[in-house]
Amino acid sequence: MDDLNDPYELSVGVPSAEVFRRLRTDAGLSDKSPEAVALALPNTWHAVVVHHGGEPVGMGRVIGDGGTAFQIVDICVHPAHQGRGLGKRIMAALTEELERRAPATAYVSLIADGPARSLYEKYGFADTAEHDSIGMYRVLGARSGLGGSRGGR
């Protein structure tokens, strides 16, 4: 899209807690408690927010230890703005910053839900099972053990 006619602006920065929670739920991701968000956002390694007419409509973050392990999280775009390449712009910005600042030996992971897998593959991410690994998760507070609740991210 021509930059002069592009109605979207991508900026570097961590969204506010209110924007974070709204974008997640608008995009169909699970909500997070205000207390959890207040703890999480200051620990962001890098983040971007996409604005349309001054209104936040998309975001993505990188979290991690700053040296050996990073995870791309919270990639979401408001449904009214999906299908316009904003997910690609968010991923490009995050992966460019990882390539620029993270050590070459760092491990970068993410969890791909449904069709988002094809987006992440365009940025060099591969199924961990192909590398003799398996992704696993646990939601704290969810029932554990056989037959426990699956929970949501």
**Adjacent-strand bridge partners of 146:** none
Asked if 120 and 127 count as a contact pair (C-beta separation under 8 A), the reply is no
- Quote the CA–CA distance of 97 and 152 in Å, as a whole number: 28
Q: How confident is the model at residue 131 (pLDDT cuts 50, 70, 90)?
A: confident
| Rounded-to-integer distance, Cα 40 and Cα 66, Å | 15
User: What pLDDT, in 10s, does the model give residues 71-83?
Assistant: 999 999 999 999 9
Q: Give the whole-angstrom CA distance, residue 34 versus residue 25.
A: 13
Q: What angle do CA 84, 71, 104 make, to 5 degrees?
A: 105
pLDDT of residue 128: 84
β-pairing, 107-109 vs 69-77, is parallel
Choice between 137 and 79, residue whose per-residue pLDDT is larger? 79
Is the pLDDT score of 148 beyond 50? no
**Distance between CA 149 and CA 120 in Å, rounded?**
28
Whether residue 10 contacts residue 90, with contact meaning beta carbons closer than 8 Å, is answered with yes
Give the predicted TM-score (pTM) of the model: 0.86
